[in-house]
Homo-oligomer: A and B are copies of this chain.
Amino acid sequence: MREVLRVPGGSGVDLSSYDAKATPAGPRDKAAGLAATAHMGEHLADLQERLWAASTAGDRRRVLLVLQGMDTSGKGGTVKHVIGLFNPSGCRITAFKAPTHEERQHSFLWRISRALPEPGEIGIFDRSHYEDVLVARVRALAPRKEIARRYGKINRFEKSLADDGVTVVKVFLHISYDQQRRRLLKRLDNADKHWKFNPGDIEDRALWPAYQKAYQIALDRCSTPEAPWFLIPADRKWYRNWAVSKLLLEHLEALDPRYPKAEFDVEESRARLLQGS
A residues adjacent to B (C-beta < 8 A): 53, 56-57, 76, 79-80, 83-84, 86-89, 91, 93, 95, 126, 181, 184-185, 188, 191-192, 194-199, 202, 205-206, 259-262, 264-266, 269-270, 272-274, 277
Contact = CB atoms under 8 A, between A and B. Distances in A.
Closest 4 CB pairs of A and B: A194-B262, A53-B195, A79-B89, A192-B259
Contact of A264 (B57, B93, B197, B259): B197
A277 B91 contact: no
Contacts of A181: 273, 277
B89 A194 contact: no
12 contacts: A53-B192, A53-B196, A80-B87, A83-B89, A84-B87, A88-B93, A181-B277, A185-B273, A185-B274, A188-B270, A197-B264, A202-B277
Contacts of A264: 197-199
A157 to B, nearest CB: 24
A interface, by DSSP: helix, strand, loop or mixed?
helix
A88 B76 CA distance: 10
Given A205-B277, A260-B194, A185 B270 contact: yes
A259 B126 contact: no
Contact of A89 (B95, B259, B262): B95
Contacts of A198: 264
A146 to B, nearest CB: 31
Contacts of A95: 89
B76 A277 contact: no
B206 A277 contact: yes
Contacts of A206: 277
Nearest to A86: B88
A252 B228 CA distance: 42
Nearest to A193: B259
A95 to B, nearest CB: 7
A212 to B, nearest CB: 16
A86 B274 CA distance: 39
B84 A79 contact: no
Contacts of A83: 88-89
A270 B84 CA distance: 32
Contacts of A272: 202
A89 B277 contact: no
